[in-house]
Amino acid sequence: MRLLIDLAIAILIAAVVGFGSAVIVLDRDRLFGAVTRGEWTAWPDSGSANADPYTEAMLARSGEVPLGSGEGLAFTAEADRNGARLSGRCSYRIVGQTPAARLWTLTAYDGDGHLMENPANRTGFHSREILRREDGSFVIQVSPHVEPGNWLPVETDRALRLVLRIYDTPLTSGGVGDAILPSIERVSCS
Amino acid sequence: MIRGLLFALGGLILGGIIHIVVILLVPDFADRDAWTSMGRFGPDGAFHVLPMSEPGTEPLPYLDPRMATAVCRFSLENGPIRIKADMPDDFWSIAVFNRRGSNVYSLNDRTAERSDIDLVIATPVQLVQLRENPIPALEQSIVIEVPISRGFALIRAFVADPTLLPGAEAALRAANCSADVKAPAPPPAPAPTVEPDTDAP
């Protein structure tokens, strides 16, 4: 009898620890292989044949199709330069330059990973339509209110996620190295 | 007391094993993974153009809304497959994934150094057979070896401007995921394909 109780307890512990830890790990962001530069994080391994099992499991659960290393690299930002989480209630300026690439796109998502709904029907910018300063750098205004220049409208009270996809870039073969990415500065919050 | 602790320790170790098994098996049992989602768009063995990602209606999560996308699920069980497509001049890329959704190959228009896609996907065994009996029609093709039996290919084509969308979508609709492996590319070649002693690489 005592043996049965002990066995039952052991199996319960095994089930709780095993399944619980798997769920907790998979609900968080991808664990391994993250490369962070400033506010931006990329997972170069997720687009290669040697993705780790956690990344594979996360991709299978989300249904996401990662960019292959021969296609490009996606950087995600969820916080501004000071580390505060991006929020749809705030306005931001994305300032600077992007790493060498043939093409890039910047897209705004909500916290659940859906495209940002907005009346202007603009969910992002790409590198050829953006207005630049004379030195080639750019400023993108992420804001619920109309802004001059490159305005990326957002309409949410909740979290915000920005994805910068860089296509045909040496970063995927030569490593991210000290790539310089634009910084995200908070302007104001309502 | 010590007995109980030993059982608890055993439970923890077993829990660790369960954790590893769960993580490894999730891709095979997931029901919302990319492979399963793509089954909604049409039968296997053909490219299906996905609707452009709009707020509220994303065909797959985190697709670039500025890219037109086509997907094809394929199987290599009946021999190698050949993907052919005439692409627009602007940026495009193609990526090959295994059944579990891991990328096994990818290429863009600049690394391909050509404006059309002519890709032959073969298993290692099929590639050996292709090398022994080269098919003249595949001389211009990019032949890749992937250790998978099933998988999917995804083509992305950049749409710089909404006016260019019809052209990109037409190119993707015309993409062929089960092109005849033995069919000649530009000039007509003799029908029999077994030609020993040609220039094997």
Looking at per-residue pLDDT, the higher value among B147 and B200 belongs to B147
- pLDDT value at position B183? 61
Q: What average pLDDT score do residues A51-75 get?
A: 89
Beta-bridged to residue B121, according to DSSP, are B81, B144
What ipTM, to 2 d.p.? 0.86
- pLDDT value at position B200? 42
pLDDT over 50 at B188, yes or no: no
Best probe of the B interface among A59, A105, A156, by most B CBs < 10 A, is A59
DSSP symbols for B77-132: TTS-EEEEEE--SS-EEEEEEETTS-EEEEEEHHHHTSSEEEEEEE-HHHHHHHHH
- pLDDT value at position B136? 82
With an 8 Å Cβ cutoff, is A9 touching chain B? yes
Contact criterion met (CB < 8 Å) for A167 and B30: no
What are the extents of the domains in chain B?
1-30, 34-173
In tens, the pLDDT along A113-138 reads 889 888 778 889 999 999 998 888 99
Best probe of the A interface among B2, B13, B106, B156, by most A CBs < 10 A, is B106
Nearest-Cα distance to chain B for A47, in Å, is 5
Stretch among B112-121, B133-142, B170-179 having the lowest mean pLDDT: B133-142
Contact criterion met (CB < 8 Å) for A64 and B60: yes
Nearest-Cα distance to chain A for B153, in Å, is 10
Looking at per-residue pLDDT, the higher value among B94 and B27 belongs to B94
Best probe of the B interface among A29, A71, A107, by most B CBs < 10 A, is A71
* Long-range CB contact pairs, B165-169, < 8 A, 24+: B165/B52, B165/B68, B167/B88, B168/B68, B168/B88, B169/B49, B169/B68
Contact criterion met (CB < 8 Å) for A49 and B34: no
* Spatial distance between the Cα atoms of B113 and A73, rounded to a whole number of angstroms: 20
CATH code of the region B34-173: 2.60.40
- pLDDT value at position B194? 47
- pLDDT value at position A116? 85
Lookup: tokens for A37: 């530069």
- pLDDT value at position A18? 92
pLDDT over 70 at B184, yes or no: no
Lookup: tokens for B129: 């057979």
Stretch among B12-21, B24-33, B118-127 having the lowest mean pLDDT: B24-33
In tens, the pLDDT along A76-92 reads 999 999 999 999 889 99
CB-nearest partner of B11 from A11, A51, A56: A11
Q: What average pLDDT score do residues A137-162 get?
A: 89
Among candidates B57, B56, B60, B39, which has minimal Cα distance to B48?
A: B39
Contact criterion met (CB < 8 Å) for B33 and A60: yes
pLDDT over 80 at B97, yes or no: yes
pLDDT over 90 at A50, yes or no: no
Contact criterion met (CB < 8 Å) for A107 and B64: yes
Instruction: Decide if B92 contacts B155 (C-beta within 8 A).
Output: yes
Lookup: tokens for A2: 């005592």
Contact criterion met (CB < 8 Å) for B62 and A9: no
* Spatial distance between the Cα atoms of B37 and A62, rounded to a whole number of angstroms: 11
pLDDT over 50 at B187, yes or no: no
pLDDT above 90: percentage of residues in chain A: 43
